[in-house]
A and B are shown apart, each in its own frame.
Chain A
Amino acid sequence: MSNQMTYGEGTLTFRHGVHPEEYKELSNHKKIQRIPFVEEYVLPLGQHIGAPSKALVRKGEEVRRGQKIAASVGFVSVALHSPVDGTVTDVGLVDNPKGEMVPGVRIKTDPYSSQQLEERPVDFESLDIKGFITAIQQAGIVGLGGAAFPSHVKFALPEDKSCRYIMLNGCECEPFLTADHRTMLEHAREVIDGILIIQHFLKAQKAFIAVEANKPDAIEALRLHASNNAFPVEVVPLQVKYPQGAEKMMITAILGQEVPTGKLPIDLGVLVVNVGTSKAISDYFRKGIPLFERILTVTGTAINNPANLLVPIGTPMREVINACGGVTDDAARILLGGPMMGAVQKSLDVPVVKGTSGLLVLGNAEIQDFQEYSCIRCGRCLQACPLFLNPARMGLLAKKGLWDDMEDLHVMDCFECGSCSFVCPSGIPLVQSFRVAKGILREKSLRERSLRESKAEGKES
């Protein structure tokens, strides 16, 4: 096995955080494999943050692999492409990973559909920055780390801002997941090439690739390819600690600076891109392949054959699990995403979407229910929270429904990494209650704003 764990190099990190068991050995040595086409693909139109795309196809229409089937609506929105040759069987409601029924397209696969696609490179050197942004939007590229934020929006820098550093996120700090690891190892060339394409337009000083030190082979592969070109690309091993891959934590680890609250990394001159996204950018400009498939990890203690797969977007979870030999009798819960931030699934009809980084089948051992005790104020959550929030106090406030007091303690800054709930010896659902608080506070501020606006309108008339 080539994965010798040498942690010596990764000393940079942020303060606080937790050390869950990694479970990466289940799949970190498995090569990325394609799975055969399945009978039907299910494509929700809203797979990204922002406005859902608008369907361009009708029932009964024939589509080709890579054909655009839905167009972006507004700026914060991207296009959607068919992953196969086939026939549209329905444009209606489909399941999505959030457990909702949303508008989407169903495509029945043509049995003779080919997985090969004619390579049609896009001449990006003739493009200006606007052309680049439009091209990325039309290629349907979103952040593949999990949030699925449209990438082109990040590249459209505000006029008073410039990009000093391009930072690639290859931390993959969630336990179990190894998709980014395998991407960096097997596609190091494409990952670095993506940086060079971005650099052609953004003119940064330098690029960093942040990788947790538990992926020494990926670090080596990236360094090998990074040294081949003039633009400085530094591969930075970071300490193995959760949530090292959170954007803010990664920036703090590398630059030693904090991202001010309410600001974006670009306010520090940093542009963060996931390694998978960088590869997707390279794939589009070098080969003309839009984002219609992604690499994901299928793993967990209760799946028969853990694997890293190249899966067409829209593949129902059921088919992905079948491709991995099915689940064991012990299977208790199925998640999309990692165990710390992923979402539990109630239906196997839910498809893989652009933001799906992993499919996790947990056994009974991992999900045993913990009895909840009173808060003993041990302060472990304070020592875990990467944002230096006070989860213990906010948890007590949440029990009393004192949302406004929670806002004073900056609950809105919480990005829900779950470290507090992970360490809480009393098994108190801390992050879960913060999610509720954030929802309530967000709703309240919306209501207040609309009230103010309607008052202002009343005065005008």
Chain B
Amino acid sequence: MSVQKVQMEISTAPFLKDVATTPKIMWLVIYTLIPILLVSVYYFGISALLISLTAVLSCVFTEWLFNFSNDPIKTLKDGSAIITGLLLALTLPPGFPLWMVFIGGVVAIGMGKSMWGGLGQNIFNPALLGRAFLQAAFPTAITTWSSPGGSFLSLKGTNTALPFFQGQNIDAFSGATPLAQMKFQHIGTDTLALLMGNTGGSLGETCGLLLILSGIYLLAKKIINWRIPVSILLTVVVISGIFYLIDRQIYPTPLFMLLSGGLLLGTVYMATDLVTSPLTPKGIWIYGVGIGVLVVLIRIWGGLPEGVMYAILLMNAATPLINRYAKIRTYGHLK
């Protein structure tokens, strides 16, 4: 005689459970990304929508492809693939070819997450890893910026390039980002424009005001740890402030440093990625200060105008080590 199926219910305390669940947290983050996407569509027209759609589809497709459990959509349920897709899209230039976006999404989820074992196991922020791949593979396309404005339906740059082709830039104007203007020509950008988003740049990084509001909302909802934005932004202000005081002609103001480029987007949505940031308060401070220092150093001395992506990825790499050594002092264990 054999027992076909044994169903045992084992349960031990606690029997109460907080309302927050992982999918709920993920969806809340997705909701906060929607206004940013809408502003992006306002400035960059249908290109922003197409890029976001492509990135999300590509991420969701890859997530589905690498799901080996019996439940065909198990790993999609938590919503994390959609976040990765949206975040990847928001870091890309408006005129970026869609086929490259698709590849970026495949790499972001495939190499950034599934390869490590899925949600919670990856070391690098998947969206940024995808973008780093695109930066290495398509250096020209990813640094070709379009200016905001123009008709809603007119496509930007090389969106429609055929696979494996760079495509002809169909855009009337090509604009530089505020950071590039500052780095190569020492021309500043109006603070108001930086806050409102009426500048060149990646889809989601231009509107500083909205990013600040999203950050405050996520902090209030306790989705992100306050120490991460505080430590990154403070470090950037202090270090870039020192440079600014040394030579006001060459170096930008700390305010410009804060509002330009991808710093706010990276701080609110990527550095705070729960999975790839440290756990303990001490570890988080080390991580945040590290990102801040790297951002300023890359922006000022690096070959690229922007350094947020590499700063965050480098500190992601340091996170397992930080987690190991930055311990929390347990109650009753006095020094």
**In the complex, which residues 357-401 of chain A have their Cβ closer than 8 Å to any Cβ of chain B?**
362, 366-367, 370, 373-380, 382, 386-390, 392-393
Total contacting residues, chain A, CB less than 8 A: 56
In whole angstroms, how far apart are the Cα atoms of A382 and B14 in the complex?
A: 17
Cβ of B154 within 8 Å of any chain A Cβ, yes or no, is no
Quick one: closest B residue to A370, CB to CB? B17
Q: Is the CB of A339 within 8 A of B15?
A: yes
A230 → chain B closest CB, angstroms: 35
**Which stretch, A186-194, A311-319, A426-434, touches the partner chain B?**
A426-434
B112-130 interface bits toward A, Cβ cutoff 8 Å, 1 = contact, 0 = none: 0000001111000000000
Q: Is the CB of B15 within 8 A of A387?
A: no
Q: Is the CB of A425 within 8 A of B279?
A: no
Q: Is the CB of B330 within 8 A of A341?
A: no
Q: Is the interface of B mostly helix, strand, loop or mixed?
A: loop
Instruction: Find chain B residues with CB under 8 A from A288 CB.
Output: none
Cβ of A20 within 8 Å of any chain B Cβ, yes or no, is yes
In whole angstroms, how far apart are the Cα atoms of A426 and B277 in the complex?
A: 17
Q: Is the CB of A175 within 8 A of B330?
A: no
Q: Is the CB of B17 within 8 A of A387?
A: no
Q: Is the CB of B78 within 8 A of A373?
A: yes
Instruction: Find chain B residues with CB under 8 A from A379 CB.
Output: 225, 274, 279
Cβ of A234 within 8 Å of any chain B Cβ, yes or no, is no
A176 → chain B closest CB, angstroms: 9
Q: Is the CB of A377 within 8 A of B277?
A: yes
Q: Is the CB of B333 within 8 A of A410?
A: yes
Cβ of B185 within 8 Å of any chain A Cβ, yes or no, is no
Interface centre among B119, B327, B328, B334 (most CB of A within 10 A): B328
Instruction: Find chain B residues with CB under 8 A from A431 CB.
Output: 13-14
Instruction: Find chain B residues with CB under 8 A from A380 CB.
Output: 20
Interface centre among A342, A375, A431 (most CB of B within 10 A): A375
**In the complex, which residues 401-433 of chain A have their Cβ closer than 8 Å to any Cβ of chain B?**
409-410, 413, 416, 418, 421-427, 431-432
Q: Is the CB of A175 within 8 A of B16?
A: yes
Cβ of A329 within 8 Å of any chain B Cβ, yes or no, is no
Cβ of A258 within 8 Å of any chain B Cβ, yes or no, is yes
Quick one: closest B residue to A420, CB to CB? B14
Q: Is the CB of B20 within 8 A of A376?
A: no
Cβ of B298 within 8 Å of any chain A Cβ, yes or no, is no
In whole angstroms, how far apart are the Cα atoms of A422 and B275 in the complex?
A: 20
Q: Is the CB of A378 within 8 A of B25?
A: yes
A-B contact count (CB 8 A): 135
In whole angstroms, how far apart are the Cα atoms of A339 and B13 in the complex?
A: 7
Q: Is the CB of B279 within 8 A of A418?
A: no
A175 → chain B closest CB, angstroms: 6
Instruction: Find chain A residues with CB under 8 A from B24 CB.
Output: 425
In whole angstroms, how far apart are the Cα atoms of A252 and B17 in the complex?
A: 26
Instruction: Find chain B residues with CB under 8 A from A413 CB.
Output: 330-333
Cβ of A343 within 8 Å of any chain B Cβ, yes or no, is yes
Instruction: Find chain A residues with CB under 8 A from B249 CB.
Output: none
Instruction: Find chain B residues with CB under 8 A from A248 CB.
Output: 331-332
B121 → chain A closest CB, angstroms: 7
Quick one: closest B residue to A410, CB to CB? B330
Q: Is the CB of B334 within 8 A of A260?
A: yes
Q: Is the CB of B120 within 8 A of A375?
A: yes
In whole angstroms, how far apart are the Cα atoms of A182 and B120 in the complex?
A: 46
A129 → chain B closest CB, angstroms: 29
In whole angstroms, how far apart are the Cα atoms of A132 and B118 in the complex?
A: 62
Cβ of A261 within 8 Å of any chain B Cβ, yes or no, is yes
Q: Is the CB of A390 within 8 A of B13?
A: no
Other A-B contacts than A258-B334, A382-B280, A425-B20, 20 sampled, CB-CB below 8 A, are: A21-B16, A261-B330, A333-B15, A339-B14, A342-B13, A342-B15, A367-B11, A367-B15, A373-B21, A373-B22, A373-B23, A373-B120, A376-B119, A379-B225, A409-B330, A421-B14, A421-B17, A425-B22, A426-B21, A426-B120
Q: What are 26 A-to-B residue pairs whose CB atoms are below 8 Å? A: A248-B331, A259-B332, A260-B332, A260-B333, A339-B13, A339-B14, A341-B14, A342-B15, A366-B16, A373-B78, A374-B120, A377-B275, A378-B25, A379-B274, A382-B280, A387-B330, A389-B328, A392-B279, A393-B279, A418-B13, A422-B14, A422-B16, A423-B20, A425-B18, A425-B20, A425-B24
Q: Which 6 pairs show the lowest CB-CB distances between chains A and B?
A: A418-B14, A374-B120, A261-B332, A387-B331, A373-B22, A339-B15
Chain B residues with CB under 8 Å of chain A are 11-18, 20-25, 78, 118-121, 225, 274-275, 277, 279-280, 323, 327-334
